[in-house]
């Protein structure tokens, strides 16, 4: 495996997907190693639950292995992966909305996270992705631009519009200040 991993070191994600489609497990291991930390960090930040984040990542990676042979190539793989993890994380937040915890601080944190996650679902896709990548995944604006395959100026515009849209979505939920969600 180590020799194959080195052979795949400079290979792009799309070529790794082609190798994965051919059954190459080493290519899959390289692809996972390349993206697992940032994807897990994103899922943890969105869900605030490491156990759920791990499940989300596993489900997303399963989809990668299933999709490898049919990759449409319309967007960069990393963009699709970030978006897939983000959507799965937001879905998980919506589904667990009804769950309650005995600890009041955890209930309060989950309520806040659910309110924000719900509000994010109202925001147009590219704005939501830009906000999540920048604020939840802690990516720089230039890295978000790279992941989304957009110019930096467009990402800055998406972030500005996304912040305004998120603020509006929160106001519609009765959140007018920090005290409303803390």
CB 100 within 8 A of CB 107: yes
pLDDT at 74: 65
Closest CA to 40 of 11, 10, 81: 81
Q: Is the pLDDT of residue 2 over 60?
A: no
Whether 84 contacts 63, CB under 8 Å: yes
* Residue 74 DSSP class: S
Mean pLDDT of the chain: 80
Rg (CA), the chain: 18
The percentage of the chain sitting over the pLDDT mark of 90, rounded to a whole number, equals: 12
Distance, CA of 41 to CA of 158 (rounded, Å): 22
Angle (nearest 5°) at CA 130 between 151 and 69: 85
pLDDT of residue 155: 95
Domains of the chain: 36-180 (1.10.10.10)
Instruction: Give residue-wise pLDDT tens across range 61-110.
Output: 888 888 777 766 666 787 778 878 888 887 887 776 555 444 566 566 66
Write the CB contacts of 41 (distance below 8 Å, at least 6 apart in sequence): 137, 138
pLDDT at 103: 54
What is the token pair recorded at 64? Answer: 């990668």
pLDDT at 158: 95
């Amino acid at each position: 495996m180590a020799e194959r991993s080195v052979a795949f070191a400079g290979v792009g994600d799309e070529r790794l997907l082609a190798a994965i489609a051919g059954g190459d497990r080493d290519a899959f291991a390289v692809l996972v190693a390349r993206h697992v930390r940032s994807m897990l960090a994103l899922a943890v930040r969105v869900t605030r639950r490491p156990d759920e984040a791990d499940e989300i990542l596993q489900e997303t990676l399963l989809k990668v292995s299933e999709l490898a042979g049919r990759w449409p190539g319309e967007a960069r793989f990393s963009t699709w992966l970030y978006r897939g993890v983000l959507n799965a994380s937001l879905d998980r937040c919506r589904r667990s909305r009804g769950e309650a915890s005995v600890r009041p601080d955890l209930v309060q944190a989950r309520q806040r996270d659910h309110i924000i996650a719900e509000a994010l679902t109202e925001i147009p896709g590219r704005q939501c992705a830009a906000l999540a990548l920048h604020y939840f995944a802690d990516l720089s604006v230039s890295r978000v631009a790279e992941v989304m395959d957009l110019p930096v100026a467009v990402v800055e515009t998406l972030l500005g519009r996304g912040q305004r849209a998120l603020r509006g979505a929160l106001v519609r939920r009765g959140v007018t200040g920090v005290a409303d969600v803390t």
